Amino acid sequence: MKQLALALLILSLGVTGAIAKQTCKQRADEKKLAGAALNSYMTKCASDATASCDKAAADKKLSGAAKDSFTTKCVRDATGT
């Protein structure tokens, strides 16, 4: 019984993680944003992604070109652009 509960917990965390991995572009498309609303949303989302990616780079103790490369790819993956 404990194994079943553990398996269900792991499965639910995996599904939650997959949902959380949506890009900014995908979320904007779901919300059917266009024009100024889309631009504003994407700008804020990119700003939030940059802050998050900078923190992740600091946590990994990256610096210089490695930090720049990591942050650029991280932001691109998060925004979907």
Contact predicate 78/24, CB 8 Å: yes
Express each pLDDT in 25-79 by its tens digit. Answer: 999 999 999 999 999 999 999 999 999 999 999 999 999 999 999 999 999 999 9
Tokens for 76, please give them. 């691109």
Tokens for 4, please give them. 């079943």
Q: For residue 21, name the pLDDT band (cuts at 50, 70, 90).
A: confident
